[in-house]
Structure 1
Amino acid sequence: MSRGDIGVYGLGVMGSALALNLAEQGFDVAVSNREVGWIADFVAEAGPLAARLHPHSEMSDFVAGLKTPRVILFMIPSGVPMDDMIRAVTPLLEAGDTIIDGGNANFHDTRRRAAALATQGLHFVGMGVSGGETGARHGPSMMVGGTAQSWTQLEPMLRAIAARYEGDPCVAHLGPDGAGHFVKTVHNGIEYADMQMIAEAYGLMRFGMGMSASDIGAQFEAWNKGPLRSYLVEITGALLKYEAAGAPFVDHIRDAAGQKGTGRWTVIEALHMGQSASLIEAAIGARSWSSEKALRERLAAQYGGARGAVAVGLAQIEQALMAGRILAYAQGFRILRQAAQDYDWPLDFARIAQIWRAGCIIRSALLDDIAEAFEASGRGGQLLEAEVIADRLQGALPGLRAVAAAALGAGHPAPALNNAVSFFDSLRIASGTANIIQAQRDFFGRHGFERLDQGGQHHGPWWD
């Protein structure tokens, strides 16, 4: 009986795509699924690749059908289902075997599972996979956390199936336990912010400048040939060209955005670490507010829902998107920097930027500059201090300010772009207003404060 180089359990959209990708790259893949009826259909539809797929309906046969030390990739829902699966499969495994969680798991769960399984001699890998179904099938970006030993075993397979940017596989071992899943969480947070800013730009052009959906689509297509080139700009240009029943297809879509939770995790963890994720939080807030469609309709009737014309040019909107994107990445990497310190992870920020350049949802031309910036400054550097980034940001800031101000004045919601301005202005001011807050805290709670002209802790004269 042929034995699989790797097992893939969970033949949903992502699991089936990854299994086919592995098979196409010459690996023998044992496959199984909770709904056993899916297994035969999946193999039957695999065409010539079916010869590399080895189906099993029973977990014991699935595990027995793997080469040792075994590697099993689980593509199942995160949370309780993954814990249940670990309890079911571990009695069948041996020391040295590796379990991979390829879902969008909370990194705290990944750390807990890695520590528990290590006591049994098992390796637990948390692997973030980005790129959707197409990426999984033809080359995703993968962010891997786990032991060095598990990476040695996985590296040849993962490099083979990964997306490539100028020949470089977009996969990396980022650190132990939850490092891979945490980086994927922040990736998704940046994705939320980028999507929201693109939507805000669309709204300004459509409702503030009177442009048609197809003309806006053409504008995004033009931007995708320049500095804003990215997957999200590309698909926005494409989707705005579709029509149905004589109207833009997007006009048939209910304006209530969904979310699965990873963006919220980014904000929650940022706050735990005392960091700002204001652009990402703005994007999450906007999605939450969008879901209150009935309330919005009532408030539009009560307060008036009209939006005025905006006196900005397309070049300024392009600048606003560039500045906003830079600042969203800056916030994301600040969160990663803090996590590296708090969890003692050897996160390589340049390498993270490099593996995001192909296969993943937030791939963009800007990531070349970000990788260059971190290669020059190392782990301790702040993205906004890098000359290559500062030059881009300085050129784009006038457009961001003009667009944010115009949106605010004309009643167009632009929470992410407005937060981008506030975030930048808060960081660029050498002398701010937090001294007032410190004085207030001392006045009502005797919390004390530091002085500029003396060391130690002090209290105000109101306590004399």
Structure 2
Amino acid sequence: MNIAIIGLGKMGGNMARRLARGGAKVFGFDLSDQTRAQLAAEEPNFTGFDSVATLVANLPQPRVVWMMLPAGEISEATLAELKTLLVPGDLIVDGANANYKDSQRHGAELAALGLRFVDAGVSGGVWGLANGYTIMFGGEREAAAQVEPFVRLLAPAPDRGWLHCGPAGAGHYTKMVHNGIEYGMMQAFAEGFAMLKAKEEFGLDIAQISELWRHGSVIRSWLLDLIAGTLSEDAELKDLQAYVPDSGEGRWTVVESIELGVPTPVIAQALYARFASRGNDDFAMKLLSMMRNAFGGHAVAKH
């Protein structure tokens, strides 16, 4: 079993490790010489290359090339290069958090060249190396069969934690919705624990409460496990700023819900809360304060 991984960052690097430890021969490329050298030193089944062209030239046919790159310009450029290097029957997997519409386009473009394409939504984060990755992927049946042996190695177990969801685009669509749900769950936990912390008269120990809820509670989950682990070390989160980025998938989920006419108020509100964390609601809040003062004479706070 031979596979190439392009992009050996936090996700791609650990995926390469898990594949190599599962018995696959992994051919890897990353711009960082140090990253390639470190992986080669750790994993006997890993070989690093200093260019995509050299990697492809050394990868036995039919080739499976799995990209773990940021969605957008970098992925598009790498796909364009791979089109000139691969031959019919070779397969490209896009493991980025890409827009599913881009994946549909990529699938059609590559099919016209005789190349196979799989769009893979990958969940598991930095814990995937030890616990395995949940993989939802799309593509034609032949492409799915070609990539399945590697998906089985990456998943938590060969018979679970992965699913061929449908044609090209289906994998990234499923991952998009997955991430939208994730936004809502995270927001609910954040708001609930904020309420616990604000009730000062009870002196609630939120670290102990988070640990309590992990056992038998309806809301027990991996997210709660992560919360409990963090709060046990720093219940005040002293070193963190109240700033929450978004990867784009929450935005796509909300846009798609509008196009489908499917209401997703929880996901939408969770996305807006992230925008608010960056100060993007500051002017709006000032206007609200001004209006309350103007119509009701309510006091305003000034610098």
Q: How much has 1:136 moved relative to structure 2? A: 4.4
- State yes or no: 1:275 paired with 2:266: no
SS in 2 for 1:8: strand
Contact 1:138 1:161 in 2 (8 A): no
Aligned to 2:2: 5
Contact 1:256 1:293 in 2 (8 A): no
SS in 1 for 2:232: coil
In 1: Cα distance, 2:55 partner to 2:48 partner: 8
Q: How much has 1:60 moved relative to structure 2? A: 2.2
In 2: Cα distance, 1:282 partner to 1:268 partner: 13
Summarize the alignment of residues 19-418 of structure 1 with structure 2, pairs less than 5 Å apart.
19-44=16-41, 46=42, 49=43, 51-136=44-129, 138-164=131-157, 168-208=159-199, 210=201, 215-226=205-216, 227-243=218-234, 248-292=235-279, 295=282
Summarize the alignment of residues 443-454 of structure 1 with structure 2, pairs less than 5 Å apart.
none
Unaligned stretches of 5+ residues in structure 1: 304-464
**1:127-153 C-alpha deviation (Å, 9 max, x unpaired):** 000010211454010001111111111
SS in 1 for 2:106: helix
Contact 2:275 2:281 in 1 (8 A): no
Q: How much has 1:170 moved relative to structure 2? A: 0.3
TM-score, normalised with respect to structure 2: 0.89
Given the superposition, is the C-alpha separation of residues 174 and 294 from structure 1 closer, same or farther in structure 2, using an over 3 Å criterion?
A: closer
**1:419-451 C-alpha deviation (Å, 9 max, x unpaired):** xxxxxxxxxxxxxxxxxxxxxxxxxxxxxxxxx
Contact 2:67 2:95 in 1 (8 A): yes
Contact 1:7 1:66 in 2 (8 A): yes
In 1: Cα distance, 2:198 partner to 2:113 partner: 60
In 2: Cα distance, 1:57 partner to 1:71 partner: 18
Percent identity of equivalent pairs? 34
Given the superposition, is the C-alpha separation of residues 89 and 36 from structure 1 closer, same or farther in structure 2, using an over 3 Å criterion?
A: farther
Which amino acid letter does the alignment assign opposite residue 236 of structure 1?
I
Contact 2:68 2:95 in 1 (8 A): yes
Contact 1:242 1:249 in 2 (8 A): no
Q: How much has 1:294 moved relative to structure 2? A: 9.1
Contact 1:23 1:53 in 2 (8 A): yes
Contact 1:20 1:137 in 2 (8 A): no
Contact 2:90 2:115 in 1 (8 A): yes
**1:21-80 C-alpha deviation (Å, 9 max, x unpaired):** 000101100011133453223322x1xx2x101111122220122221100011111112
In 1: Cα distance, 2:124 partner to 2:262 partner: 27
Given the superposition, is the C-alpha separation of residues 287 and 259 from structure 1 closer, same or farther in structure 2, using an over 3 Å criterion?
A: same
Given the superposition, is the C-alpha separation of residues 59 and 168 from structure 1 closer, same or farther in structure 2, using an over 3 Å criterion?
A: closer
Given the superposition, is the C-alpha separation of residues 264 and 136 from structure 1 closer, same or farther in structure 2, using an over 3 Å criterion?
A: farther
Which amino acid letter does the alignment assign opposite residue 143 of structure 1?
M
Unaligned stretches of 5+ residues in structure 2: 291-303
Which amino acid letter does the alignment assign opposite residue 206 of structure 2?
I
Larger Rg: 1
RMSD, matched Cα: 2.3
Q: How much has 1:94 moved relative to structure 2? A: 0.8
Given the superposition, is the C-alpha separation of residues 293 and 174 from structure 1 closer, same or farther in structure 2, using an over 3 Å criterion?
A: closer
Contact 1:23 1:52 in 2 (8 A): yes
In 2: Cα distance, 1:249 partner to 1:21 partner: 35
The alignment of Structure 1 onto Structure 2 pairs a total of residues equal to 289
SS in 2 for 1:241: helix
**1:308-347 C-alpha deviation (Å, 9 max, x unpaired):** xxxxxxxxxxxxxxxxxxxxxxxxxxxxxxxxxxxxxxxx
TM-score, normalised with respect to structure 1: 0.59
Q: How much has 1:283 moved relative to structure 2? A: 0.3
In 1: Cα distance, 2:16 partner to 2:273 partner: 36
In 2: Cα distance, 1:268 partner to 1:209 partner: 39
In 1: Cα distance, 2:81 partner to 2:27 partner: 17
Contact 2:244 2:278 in 1 (8 A): yes
Given the superposition, is the C-alpha separation of residues 112 and 137 from structure 1 closer, same or farther in structure 2, using an over 3 Å criterion?
A: farther
**Which consecutive aligned stretches of 4+ in structure 1 deviate over 4 angstroms post-superposition?**
209-213
Given the superposition, is the C-alpha separation of residues 100 and 282 from structure 1 closer, same or farther in structure 2, using an over 3 Å criterion?
A: same
- State yes or no: 1:17 paired with 2:14: yes
In 1: Cα distance, 2:231 partner to 2:34 partner: 38
